[in-house]
Structure 1
């Protein structure tokens, strides 16, 4: 029964995308899993945003902070509240409009998540290992690199094409599965300078490579097609929305 339900979910998503989605500035995601756009945010703005992340995390008195078990990945949910003067540089409304055109849905709630990665023994990278954000629906993340990202400091990586036909992958990656321990396909890592914007369909198998040296700062846009989506992310992270 679960197999049939999963099958129907994927068919429904595919029909909806063909009927209403796959349009707008992000329509390249029909074929490309991810794309990087350099020089979107000035480096001076990146530095100011990094300083704000450090200040908020180092104070530690904010109920919007989440940390992983190793202390490698520290996150600030609702980061837009901490950077009102910098927010225009992120063009959030334009990104949301592009996401909505690609998904064929209307965003009802959103938030920015800022995170700082540092090396810690046993860290699995940003996102806690390879996963899909949804094993059924297409989803889009906009990720701004606030620091130069290279191979050793936790770049975003993904399996090219894994956001498309789930049936061709179902023997290795069963439909309905979120997380994956053994991924044999070659993964592509996105290395780029501070100020770059990464756009990805996160139905693809993806995750941050475990960080080995230095640090990595980024801001991610989360969008939801229901009004309670942002609050739900807080609760699932063990946090309370303001």
Structure 2
């Protein structure tokens, strides 16, 4: 895919973040693996940290089939969940405090689940984290009518970003960062990352409203229900929770 725009300066050094979990309920499910890293302007990872947690509950077979981590392995090799959650929070706060934007694909899933985990373990959750870059929201905003699903694997392929080990936290995090940079070269993004962050709040809300209308039309939601479009952190588990990888 041709590059039509120079890479915005604020995409030349980005944090990347991804979780693999016990399920898709942001309020009830737990972290199994986590990755926080930093990419340079060429999409090369220059800083990285990956965690394996013992979530303290059984990992369902369906979740293991996705990310490959069994309950037995998590218990034997994983760090205590509270320790992992605390260290992930420290890593993300450090990046944001330095003004480094953090890329997360479908950020409202990962950041909402992390917030619930923080509260569960008596830790302070990220308070209105910013700036966040969410390629899922941005791609839908700039290429609204492209047909097909918007999972990370499919969107990465669309932007010619390699993703050889989907559902592995570090691979997904790096791919999401590279997709964000590819979008930045393809479309005229806002002049500052803070402007982009603000616009994503509105885009995510509008996209949720559109998805709500569709789900009601096909019978997946009752007329009084709605998809939660709060971004980047949902206050509660939405009616329709989707893991888009």
Instruction: Give the alignment's TM-score, normalised by structure 2.
Output: 0.30
Q: TM-score, normalised by structure 1?
A: 0.30
Q: Which has the higher strand share?
A: 1
Structure with the larger RCO, 1 or 2 (CA within 8 Å, 6+ apart): 1
